[in-house]
Structure 1
């Protein structure tokens, strides 16, 4: 039975449209596409484009609505000029640790070249490096919005979560690691400031004890010590302590957390796993910190050092500018 003969069904197009198409194709038309130039023309002159360009150059933060109010043109026209004619798009500023001077960038490049020069002499260079840094760990740091995401069905309501702030209570930790893993995580006593004297004491007492216990095959005179340029790290008494122990010091350029393994890898991973857990006292926080770090494999720590090498290469490619990904 022919489907179009059924009284309950209608043809997909009306009869008048079929006659119209038939007539136009007999006249030589070969496509069903609409004619070019049909519809309301867009009145975008070169003068208008230049005017919008001048307005944006005066204030890069101006909105499309504000431009419309200034030159009395529709929102859609301004948007077309900005995106299609001027090839512009709006982005947020990227946070960086510091606006680097030409001298800062030069120091970063010099340090990266020296690092790669020694690395290319043999893989033993990385195995000799012990890197250290300090950070604050909170007794309660609420989980991020991404961490609390979950699967839901289209018929179920979205999950709700109350906004919670970090606890006021926190504690400073000093970490030391090498390519094989974390050597020492030291919790600074409450009320104690990490001065040069205290930092030197931790290295002389706690770090050396941990090295004898965990890395007995490593002699102190073979250690290359890496740290940032915090006041306690570059103090004269700290430098003297390292010379007495026989440590070789690795150059670290100022204002360069993107070239410090603790900053670009260890601390973000550690704080992410501690986030959402509440600790009642320092012993619980210390235990959780050591547990998280001890569960990381040797391959994870080696991967950080290999990323460190790639970051120095990236620093040279960027002429000392900050970067996020490698």
Structure 2
């Protein structure tokens, strides 16, 4: 949209230069953005010749927002950037469309989604940096990327974990914000493993809270048989990260017996660095993708939720997995470049 000054200059330049092409060049050079179409410039000149002004005639439609209205809306969001447009509209008795338009056009504010991140302690930076350097070396020297098998458990609620679509913070710059959310809706605990060539799972735990015993039983009765069926058991570097029950002595003993020194996790041959979901393909890709598909509409039951999760995971292609593991390599590089710093999802 052209401003009044820009229209006036276009008319003056056209009177001087006699060419819309020359006017458009001068406009782009002067304002450092794309020039208006030549038809618009000709229309402004025509209007000026006919009426003596480039301004539109007063309209009977929507009135322009006053400076006082703009200031009221700005104060409302300065006091609480997390307020919704609907709430400010009700408080100030201003239409929602007007509030949204002023935020975007007049105040140049944007609605940022809330992202949950892990807080890193000083020692975490060193652990992350050492891990990334070691894995990068293994990938380059021994083809570890094709063997890496990341695993994780996620919880899916009938009504969703966090309604991120309705969670916004208004501001001119991206804020650093942490928000916690809990829900007591019916839920499923889902385990999955991902590697460059395939996904193993999903596996649904019968109980809502996974114990060390149920986790070990899943490894013994589901995961290992699947690796054997796919002829991958001897070509796997297993990674897991989760609650303390995953690191019980029976679980660690089983992993030692099964994978020897080829597994990553707390108490294992190679520790998984703390507070590092940004390095796990399940966290930075799979769970987000699955939840987007699953919660496109509200599941009607736990059986419906289970079917949606299964179908979403089955829809992931091998090409997508290859891109995900390329992104994993990129994240290793970024983490090293940031001395172990956190990488945004």
TM interval, short-chain normalised: 0.5 to 0.7
**Whole-angstrom distance in 2 between the partners of 1:144 and 1:319:** 30
Shift of 1:114: 0.5
SS state of the match for residue 296, structure 1?
coil
Aligned twin of 1:53: none
**Whole-angstrom distance in 2 between the partners of 1:93 and 1:320:** 25
**Whole-angstrom distance in 2 between the partners of 1:97 and 1:166:** 19
| 1:245 counterpart = 2:258 | yes
Aligned residues: 223
TM-score, normalisation: structure 2? 0.57
Shift of 1:277: 2.8
Q: How does 1:273-292 map to 2 (within 5 A)?
A: 273-292=293-312
In structure 2, relative to structure 1, the CA distance for the partners of 1:97 and 1:235 (3 Å cut) is farther
In structure 2, relative to structure 1, the CA distance for the partners of 1:249 and 1:240 (3 Å cut) is same
Greater helix proportion = 2
SS state of the match for residue 100, structure 1?
coil
Match for residue 154 of structure 2 among 127, 132, 135: 135
**Contact 1:140/1:276, CA 8 A, preserved across alignment:** no
Shift of 1:119: 0.7
**Contact 1:119/1:126, CA 8 A, preserved across alignment:** yes
**Contact 2:190/2:204, CA 8 A, preserved across alignment:** yes
What CA RMSD, in Å, does the superposition of the two structures yield over aligned residues? 3.3
**Contact 1:118/1:125, CA 8 A, preserved across alignment:** yes
**Contact 2:153/2:190, CA 8 A, preserved across alignment:** yes
**Contact 2:150/2:240, CA 8 A, preserved across alignment:** yes
Q: Which runs of 5+ in 1 are unaligned?
A: 1-7, 14-61, 64-88, 147-164
Match for residue 194 of structure 1 among 205, 210, 213: 210
| 1:232 counterpart = 2:245 | yes
**Contact 1:221/1:245, CA 8 A, preserved across alignment:** no
Q: Deviations over 1:207-244 (max 9, x none)?
A: 1222233x1x32x2432001125312322221101112
SS state of the match for residue 273, structure 2?
coil
Q: How does 1:13-162 map to 2 (within 5 A)?
A: 97-122=117-142, 124-141=143-160, 145=165
**Whole-angstrom distance in 1 between the partners of 2:53 and 2:333:** 63
**Contact 1:274/1:289, CA 8 A, preserved across alignment:** yes
Match for residue 170 of structure 1 among 176, 187, 204: 187
**Whole-angstrom distance in 2 between the partners of 1:140 and 1:93:** 19
SS state of the match for residue 141, structure 2?
coil
**Whole-angstrom distance in 2 between the partners of 1:269 and 1:126:** 22
Shift of 1:246: 2.6
Match for residue 202 of structure 2 among 161, 185, 188: 185
Aligned twin of 1:297: 317
**Whole-angstrom distance in 1 between the partners of 2:214 and 2:146:** 27
**Contact 2:189/2:204, CA 8 A, preserved across alignment:** yes
**Contact 1:96/1:322, CA 8 A, preserved across alignment:** no
In structure 2, relative to structure 1, the CA distance for the partners of 1:93 and 1:212 (3 Å cut) is closer
| 1:209 counterpart = 2:225 | yes
Aligned twin of 1:36: none
In structure 2, relative to structure 1, the CA distance for the partners of 1:96 and 1:145 (3 Å cut) is closer
TM-score, normalisation: structure 1? 0.60
Shift of 1:167: 7.5
Which structure has the larger Rg over C-alpha atoms?
A: 1
